[in-house]
């Protein structure tokens, strides 16, 4: 079974992704020190870090918007990530941003991808989240833990 739909794989390949892609993290480790690194963030950024996906137009349930995987885009937002991490009892690490900076993309320690803005929206597990971002499926609002 393929990892991504043909459409998602084509979009990712145009952005520079390929199977078994690995990039170094040293530049981000130094610059994104205000955030708490975890294994899921490292794994994701090794494979997708530095990619910019340029898409637009209507999607399945929401508009498609370009996104970029660069944690440096969230520098200065450490307090916001720490507050949301504490509130939702998850460790959010910034991956980059969606659109024109309206939302940050984040990952928790269980490899679930989120949009972080005034609130937190959940896209789902790593590969499913990429499918949603590419095909235009709206995320769901994350509820606080009971």
Q: Is the pTM of this model over 0.85?
A: yes
Question: What percent of the residues of the chain are helix, what percent strand, and what percent coil, each to the nearest 5?
Answer: 35, 20, 45
In a domain, 33, yes or no: yes
How far is C-alpha 15 from the geometric centre of its chain's CA atoms? 15
Is the pLDDT assigned to residue 1 strictly greater than 90?
A: no
Q: Is residue 1 part of a domain?
A: no
Q: What is the pLDDT of residues 4-50, one digit of tens each?
A: 999 999 999 999 999 999 999 999 999 988 999 999 999 999 999 99
Query: Which single residue is written with the structure tokens 């937190």?
Result: 120
Mean residue pLDDT across the chain: 95
Q: Confirm if 116 and 108 have CB atoms less than 8 A apart.
A: no
> Which range marks the domain in which residue 133 is found?
6-141
Query: In this structure, is residue 107 part of a structural domain?
Result: yes
Domain count, the chain: 1
- The CATH number of residue 108's host domain is 3.40.1580
């Amino acid at each position: 079974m393929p990892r991504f739909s043909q459409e998602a794989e084509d979009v990712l390949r145009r952005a520079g992704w390929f199977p078994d892609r690995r990039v170094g993290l040293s530049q981000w480790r130094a610059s994104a020190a205000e955030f708490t690194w975890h294994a899921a963030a490292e794994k994701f950024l090794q494979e997708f870090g530095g990619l910019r996906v340029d898409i637009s137009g209507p999607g399945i349930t929401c508009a498609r918007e370009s996104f970029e995987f660069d944690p440096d885009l969230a520098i200065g937002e450490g307090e916001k990530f720490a507050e949301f991490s504490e509130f939702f009892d998850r460790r959010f690490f910034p991956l980059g941003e969606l659109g024109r900076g309206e939302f940050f993309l984040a990952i928790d320690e269980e490899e679930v991808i989120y949009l972080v803005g005034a609130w937190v929206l959940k896209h789902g597990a790593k590969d499913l989240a990429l499918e949603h971002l590419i095909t235009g499926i709206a995320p769901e609002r994350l509820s606080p833990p009971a």
